[in-house]
Chains A and B, each alone.
Chain A
């Protein structure tokens, strides 16, 4: 049975978008028409397609007269200098058997597909098995290939044998595509929404930074922030030090950064009150920075001389050894104020509890939510999650910080609108209202 092939090429845009007229190679009646879709890229909307990284080709096909039985997909590199600009039918077995012909395989001995399993990845002669499908496969088969290499694919109708990946017969002709080469692109269309969100954040950030320098931006009062100063005052009266823990994460951690920013402010206050400030760090890098920050804080208070570097300590990076070390400090030096800002894990309870029993005023703040219940329970003031970041802005009143906070607020509004909007669409769609049924959030946010 002769067949003819239609290879539909989609120049970098997904099926839904623009379709190049199918090119007819031969046209004889009473023949199966193959319509092969080749995907090199993905669209701005819609989930179908492959990432254009130069390593992936998407293959899907339908046949207009439905033929039962499976289809075996094979691939080979284009031989240099070989010219096959057209797809065409070809036979891969000699006569109605299951032994792949030498002519087809190119090199190597012939192989009997009935006995040799052809699992994906198997190499037979020049060819590599890509996949097999029972019947047509309109969904994409994504094939991983080498970049800058042309490949020829063959789709062979086949009848499966009983052992897995074996084939007892290859009825009719196989279809050979013309050379295909994975495309490379410089932008991943599926991620435009992500880019938009980042852009929005950047814009809001920039806008408010500009604004913050010109007018004072309103920030709602944060309970617990003002507590810091009172607490430091109390420590001064009691003549006991203030303990500041920068969390148990590394410097790169956003929360550690926020903590270090607040530390600068706290250092300034302690310098003004002339109270000892002890800083416990879980990472050497953090310690180095904390020392810089505290020195700066003392300098801002005009008491650079009072800064004692040995008060900024690196305990150990081992989480529980760290907790034990700090607990030791709390019990031995009995600070009147413990401030835990940054990221905390299991040790949060150990610290807060020990401090609670040592009768210190405790102020905690972390975005590590699993620890918040314990801080809430055992500390006098707790900054919940994002309030930690808000706190540094609220304290420093520093334009950049405020801008950060405001940008966050803008985005919250946007998110709320997006969620509400999409929810309405989804709900209407679920009730079969027309325009909405055609639309899904998956299309814009894969």
Chain B
């Protein structure tokens, strides 16, 4: 049994909700409540960063066994702080800077060449001919590539096919050992273009033509994309048209990016609402906090406050956001 929230934490919860509302008030317009929360936040985060950096990096370093190597960072850090003492010696601060920048530069050279050039070239250079996965011969690992086939289902299929080879997809996906929910999953993934029909067959060497087309498109997207970011030629004539195709594909890609990003943003707002409702704490605590009440009270305070504040500076321009 966990004891009820103490008054200190109840107060905290209410403060948290008030600050949430104060920051959301920025949507109405820049106002004292928002500014207060903003500066409070900036201040707290600075205070937070400084301590956490000292504690988790510098202090623990001192606590734990030191090696002669640790002399180097010590000196570098000292050089960085010199500039507080004397403007004349401030140039010493360039040493730590130079070292850190060089460290990162060197790392990105070797890091990127492997992951962003090597592996990406490798992935881009796949065979354009894509065979359908043969349910009667493919190993389990390959079977679970088929849409809707989980490793568990793959294992079952292997057993089933040794008992009796599959004659058709329907036959394969409706074998008795599959549970109802598994069948539902599989049925859900049926489809001629990207679904089961496209990816799997019961004979070997069947070509997945949509896969081929997609592969070609993938290659085209890559090449035209590279062309668009090729700066040594004026984009005219054929090249111009090609690079235009490139930027079109690019834009479709950005569209996807937009979609995902928007999802992310909305998720954040949802979480704030859930938080006020007390979704992330135990029902007992939620009942104690009364988040909705706190939210309404805070909003009333803020609205009243903003109203008074606007009356005060009547004549001065309306809140910035309204423009």
Q: A-side interface residues toward B, CB under 8 Å?
A: 191, 193-194, 197-198, 217-220, 222, 251-254, 285, 288-289, 315-318, 320-321, 324-325, 327-328, 331-332, 346, 349, 357-359, 369-374, 376-377, 384-387, 390, 405-406, 408-409, 412-413, 415-416, 418-423, 425-427, 429-431, 441-442, 445
Identify A412's interface contact among B226, B250, B255, CB under 8 A: B226
Give the Cβ gap from B316 to chain A, nearest Cβ, in Å. 13
Which chain B residues lie closer than 8 Å to A429 at the CB level? 127
Known contacts A331-B30, A369-B257, A373-B257; A426 and B126 CB within 8 A of each other: yes
Complex Cα spacing A387 to B230, Å: 10
Q: Could you tell me if B121 and A220 are in contact, using CB atoms closer than 8 angstroms?
A: no
Identify B113's interface contact among A194, A332, A387, CB under 8 A: A194
Closest residue of A by beta carbon distance from B109: A198
B310, CB-defined interface residue at 8 Å: no
Known contacts A219-B231, A325-B38, A369-B257; A445 and B122 CB within 8 A of each other: yes
Q: Could you tell me if A316 and B320 are in contact, using CB atoms closer than 8 angstroms?
A: no
Q: Could you tell me if A419 and B49 are in contact, using CB atoms closer than 8 angstroms?
A: no
B77-122 interface (Cβ within 8 A of A): 93, 97, 100-101, 103-105, 108-110, 113-114, 117-119, 121-122
B interface SS class: helix
Complex Cα spacing A252 to B108, Å: 10
Which chain A residues lie closer than 8 Å to B254 at the CB level? 369, 372-373, 376
B239-294 interface (Cβ within 8 A of A): 250, 254-255, 257-258, 260-261, 264-265
Size range of the interface on B? 35 or more
B318, CB-defined interface residue at 8 Å: no
Complex Cα spacing A327 to B42, Å: 13
B306, CB-defined interface residue at 8 Å: no
Identify B45's interface contact among A285, A316, A328, A384, CB under 8 A: A316
Complex Cα spacing A427 to B130, Å: 9
14 A/B residue pairs, CB under 8 Å, sorted by A: A220-B233, A252-B101, A253-B104, A320-B41, A327-B26, A328-B38, A331-B321, A370-B260, A373-B258, A409-B232, A412-B229, A419-B124, A423-B128, A441-B122
Which chain B residues lie closer than 8 Å to A430 at the CB level? 127, 129, 131
Which chain A residues lie closer than 8 Å to B114 at the CB level? 191, 194
Which chain A residues lie closer than 8 Å to B101 at the CB level? 251-252
Q: Could you tell me if A445 and B118 are in contact, using CB atoms closer than 8 angstroms?
A: yes
Complex Cα spacing A441 to B110, Å: 20
Complex Cα spacing A233 to B100, Å: 38
Complex Cα spacing A289 to B124, Å: 39
Q: Could you tell me if B231 and A358 are in contact, using CB atoms closer than 8 angstroms?
A: no
Identify A426's interface contact among B103, B125, B255, CB under 8 A: B125
Complex Cα spacing A350 to B23, Å: 13
Which chain A residues lie closer than 8 Å to B38 at the CB level? 321, 324-325, 328
B138, CB-defined interface residue at 8 Å: no
Closest residue of B by beta carbon distance from A431: B129
B222, CB-defined interface residue at 8 Å: yes
Give the Cβ gap from B62 to chain A, nearest Cβ, in Å. 23
Closest 7 CB pairs of A and B: A422-B125, A252-B104, A318-B45, A430-B127, A331-B320, A373-B258, A426-B127
Complex Cα spacing A390 to B323, Å: 35
B184, CB-defined interface residue at 8 Å: no
Known contacts A373-B257, A442-B122; A197 and B223 CB within 8 A of each other: no
Complex Cα spacing A32 to B101, Å: 60
Identify A198's interface contact among B105, B113, B121, B264, CB under 8 A: B113
Complex Cα spacing A332 to B110, Å: 44
Complex Cα spacing A220 to B240, Å: 12
